[in-house]
Amino acid sequence: MDVAMPAWMMRLWTAGTRIACFLAVTMPFAASARTILVPAQPVSPFADTEVSTNIVLHASRTDTREFGIHIQLAGTPTNNLEVAFGRDTNTNGVLDVQEIDTVYGWRGGRYFIENVPAWERIEVEAATNALCSVCDIHLENNSSVVPRRFTATCGISPERSEPRQRSLEGCVAAFPELATMPPAWLFREEWDMVRVTRRGAGVPSEWVRCDIEYASFAIRLR
């Protein structure tokens, strides 16, 4: 037997439906993030012997909104810490030399950013406070080929910066020539692997953290 809904109930149901749809449509955006943290690597048994770690970064993510790197180490004129990005085309689980696109790191007392295929390297002089032992790099990305924004700072001593804590105290701007017009090779959407390499003898005290934030879209209707 069919029972007709009273007018007041119909009005209440309609109003509730409008409210539910309104809330769902006005909050469609969400964000997901991934953090890759590489703590101190083991000591090399000999001087100039490298140790490295390969980590899967992401696979074909075209919605990357923000990309950040935090490098912290006890920098000396002889040690070397490199964070290389590229695509594992031969799928062997290792980012080989011929697969590397961009490298961020510390080499011989200087921070550097390197465009490997073009043999292009940009360096920044070490600061006097603990040899510029911390470097933070941040990119804002969008769907275009070139990153929207690039900022980099360095110069915090290790005892004043935790791996998961950002502070501008003691920082100086780094790589200013990249901030005005960020080149496309600073970040590429096809990267799927990162390789962290340390060379040189001594007690390891480095931290490497990569933060990637993805934009997403969702609509839920009830």
pLDDT at position 12: 43
Integer-rounded Cα Rg, in Å, for the chain is 23
| Distance of alpha carbon 128 from alpha carbon 172, whole angstroms | 11
Q: Are the C-beta atoms of residues 86 and 212 closer than 8 Å to each other?
A: no
Quick one: CATH architecture of 32-217?
Answer: Sandwich (2.60)
Residue that has been written with the tokens 């799928």 in this structure: 91
Contacts of 149 (CB under 8 A, 6+ apart): 138, 139, 140, 179, 182
What is the pTM for the complete model shown? 0.74
Both structure tokens of 127: 């600061």
What is the four-CA torsion angle of 145, 100, 118, 63, rounded to 10 degrees?
A: 0
| Distance of alpha carbon 113 from alpha carbon 115, whole angstroms | 7
Average pLDDT per block of 10 residues along the chain, 222 residues long: 51 43 41 68 67 82 83 81 94 94 90 94 70 78 80 67 50 86 90 89 74 69 56
| Distance of alpha carbon 155 from alpha carbon 168, whole angstroms | 9
